[in-house]
A and B are shown apart, each in its own frame.
Chain A
Amino acid sequence: MKKFTSFKNYINYSVIGLITVVCVILSLSGVLKASTAILLEEIAIKIMLAVSLSLVVGFLGELSLGHAGFMCVGAYLGGKVAAILAAPLGNGILTLVAALAVGGICAGVCGFLIGLPALRLKGDYLAITTLAFGEIVRTIFLNTSEESFGGPIGLATPRFNKEWFYVICFVMVLITLFVIQNLIRSKHGRAIKAIRDNEIAARATGINVTRYKLIGFILSAVFAGLAGVLYSYTKFNVSSQIFDYNYSIEILVIVVLGGMGNINGSIVSAVFVTFLNRELANILTGNLAVLKDIIYAVILIAIVIYRNAPALKGFREKYNIKQLFSKKKAAQESSEEAVKEEN
């Protein structure tokens, strides 16, 4: 294998750490605009969502369309805890930690509950179940009373009114990456990928499929819940409207765009999609606003075609970023092809 502590394994931590440090320096020197800080928070939350969904979709190989549901649970319960504790404890780190703990654990419990049917359901059926779960969660919070979770008005949360909140968001991104990446790059991760590749063979090789599917769903839900808590901290008011299935699909799009089972890809595409959404919203104002979704969709379709269309295979191989960086890997791949053709 690779050396056990090669730099490659830590490149995404380093890049994100570096970006955070640069942003902190910029904000201390007053260059960083408040709007950019908000964008950074948004990006961090999207990265957490994408990386956690990638665990289920990319590594475990189960299609989940209810990721926004887990986020919703985290946002509402974490937000509520924060609202309650803000008075006695103050709106500080302590409250945030408590909110994160409650939001993460509650989302994790939901992940466990949705993981149970996942043991019996396959493909499309599981997708429908998770989709329904997301909608149910959203509807429940929509129909709560005003005193409990705000109902249609939304839950009033104590916005963390510090410009440096994005630093906390990025720390959470690093924690997410640490846990999920270390899991994937261990024997447990190999077992999870083995289940994706061939469940029957995985069972016959002694893998406890039930256990690993539940671990996958629970961990994925926990981090989605944590992202939800952070989301509630960036708003004054959490409304269940945004956690609809479009939001789940958007996270799925990020994961697919970044490449299934590719964490770094998910990160890059989370940044890209968030930017794209925002820039399109900025550029297209007034009557042109309707074009936003169309342009967004066209760009996504173009990327998916570019990545997968057989007709473009030659083009991709000619201009492959990976090959430009590592000639050695390209050489190995071509020799693999040769062995395959030989037979």
Chain B
Amino acid sequence: MAEVKKIYADDGREIVLKADHLCIQFGGLKAVDNVNLEIKKGELYGLIGPNGAGKTTVFNLLTGVYKPTLGRFYLCGEDLTGKTPAEMNKKGIARTFQNIRLFNNLTVIENVMVGLANQIPCNLVQSVFRLPRHKKSEKEYYERALELLKVFNLDEYKDYLAANLPYGKQRKLEIARAMATNPKLLLLDEPAAGMNPNETQELMDVISFIRKEFDITILLIEHDMRLVGGICEKLTVLNFGTELAVGETSEVLNNPEVIKAYIGE
């Protein structure tokens, strides 16, 4: 068991995610080059940048899809570099995807129940022979999934197939499924992509709500500046895989370099 030493920021708040000089290289292309992140507990942190800046690649590094060429990262002080996606999830990093990835042929509630699977143990033998443990755990999955769906206002759709949900609700279901794995850090990859202004507003409310309700830290990739300006506390701006700016949302968004990268001169 590796030694876990919690890291604290200067103001005494715990640092949930610390990424140290993350780099990944695909052949000659440095997709992510020397990215540092320090996200405090309970913070809502934004990761923005033009298309192809390497934002999703950072997510893929943090969730174990890719292994960093260089650099390490720590979740609550525990070094998670090089773990597999499933292990990463068990340790407490959950994510959503830019292009929605639901279990389309499962019902809405089953999608969430899949997320809960690691929290209530029930082994294969117990399930196949329908031992009491199985019934108890199934009941618990169902009840906890229903509770989560209520938080996201999806409970009335619980028996629908996930594929049959409207787009905005599929996005919410993806967040609900990620929340079901009881993460310490939630990574949201462009949650508002393709949403209309009403849906975006609703999503912002949901994000603020789960942040308070579950006391969770969120790292968010987003293009919608209204959403970023509205809810993020701190930002890192990426451009061509490197950090362009880091700091409080308002100052970063007024940074001339950032405006140049986004809008051009």
Contacts and interface: CB of A to CB of B under 8 A. Distances in A.
Contacts of B177: 205
Interface of B: 63, 65, 84-86, 89-90, 94-95, 97, 101-106, 109-110, 113-115, 117-118, 122, 124, 127-130, 134-135, 137-139, 141-142, 157, 159-161, 164-168, 177-178, 181
Given A187-B137, A336-B161, A206 B117 contact: yes
Contacts of B102: 197-198, 201
21 contacts: A179-B128, A183-B127, A187-B141, A190-B110, A191-B117, A194-B114, A197-B103, A200-B97, A201-B97, A201-B101, A201-B102, A202-B114, A203-B85, A203-B89, A204-B95, A204-B97, A205-B89, A205-B177, A332-B159, A339-B157, A343-B166
Contact of B117 (A183, A187, A201, A340): A187
A215 B86 contact: no
Contacts of B94: 204-205
Contact of B164 (A178, A205, A339): A339
Nearest to B159: A332
A209 B167 contact: no
A104 to B, nearest CB: 15
A78 interface: no
B106 to A, nearest CB: 6
A183 B130 CA distance: 9
Contact of B122 (A187, A207, A261): A187
A203 B167 CA distance: 23
Interface string A168-210: 0000000000110011001110110110111011111111110
Contact of B127 (A187, A207, A332): A187
B113 A187 contact: yes
B167 A190 contact: no
Contact of B114 (A179, A200, A207, A215): A207
A197 B105 contact: yes
B140 to A, nearest CB: 10
A288 interface: no
Given A1-B142, A198-B101, 7 more contacts: A183-B124, A187-B114, A193-B106, A196-B105, A204-B178, A205-B178, A336-B160
Nearest to B84: A203
Nearest to A341: B166
Given A182-B127, A197-B104, A201-B97, A208 B109 contact: no
B106 A190 contact: yes
Interface in A319-343: 332, 336-337, 339-340, 342-343
In order of increasing CB-CB distance, the 7 nearest A-B pairs are: A206-B89, A343-B166, A186-B127, A201-B101, A203-B85, A197-B103, A336-B164
A149 B141 CA distance: 50
B101 A1 contact: no
Contacts of A190: 106, 110, 113-114, 117
Given A201-B97, A208-B86, A186 B134 contact: yes
Residue of B117, B164, B165 most packed against chain A (CB within 10 A): B117
Nearest to A215: B124
A198 B122 contact: no
Nearest to B134: A186
A179 B124 CA distance: 10
B109 to A, nearest CB: 7
Nearest to B162: A197
Nearest to B59: A204
A201 B130 contact: no
A183 B134 CA distance: 11
